[in-house]
Amino acid sequence: MRLIRRSLALGFALGLLLGVCANALANGTVRVQQSDGSVQKYPQTRMAWTGHALWLHSADGKGVLEITTGACTYVNDLLRCYPNGMILHQNGKQRPIAVRRGTIYMNFTDQQQRLPLSSQAIAPQALMVAIQTQHGTYVTVRGHLDGARHK
């Protein structure tokens, strides 16, 4: 249990091993809050949306977190997806991380879009992620989509 939480934090710290061809690329910040309250931030994270998974690549190129999605639907002009699970790819190994709950929002429009039932908004060509793992780790992501369009 503690190993998976630590692996998530270490995976971003160590960076990316995989490269992914994607439909939409993004850059942003990942924030990981462990159940003990400790927080790690990973600026300059490269993000790739493949239409069924969000890939979060560390800035140093040695680790990646794959967030697989299930149901994706449009809520007004925002694409909302629910994560099925996460896989940490690091040192040639894959470590699954169980998801308790979460949401991924992507704004592929040129206008700021308000989140449903919220005063918070997502900038044009941006994404927002909030996930809680089964072990109580919170992963939040904010980034921009480099002008890519969802088809």
Q: Which pLDDT does position 25 carry in this prediction?
A: 57
Q: Which pLDDT does position 14 carry in this prediction?
A: 34
pLDDT block averages, 10 residues each, the chain of length 151: 46 35 66 95 89 88 90 94 95 95 94 93 94 96 68 44
Q: Which pLDDT does position 4 carry in this prediction?
A: 47
Set out the domains of the chain in order of their start, with CATH numbers.
2-144 (2.40.128)
Single pTM value for the model: 0.78
Q: Which pLDDT does position 26 carry in this prediction?
A: 65
Long-range CB pairs of 107-110 (<8 Å, 24+ gap) are 107/77, 107/78, 107/79, 107/145, 108/24, 108/77, 108/79, 108/145, 108/148, 108/149, 108/150, 109/77
Q: Which pLDDT does position 144 carry in this prediction?
A: 86
Q: Which pLDDT does position 120 carry in this prediction?
A: 92
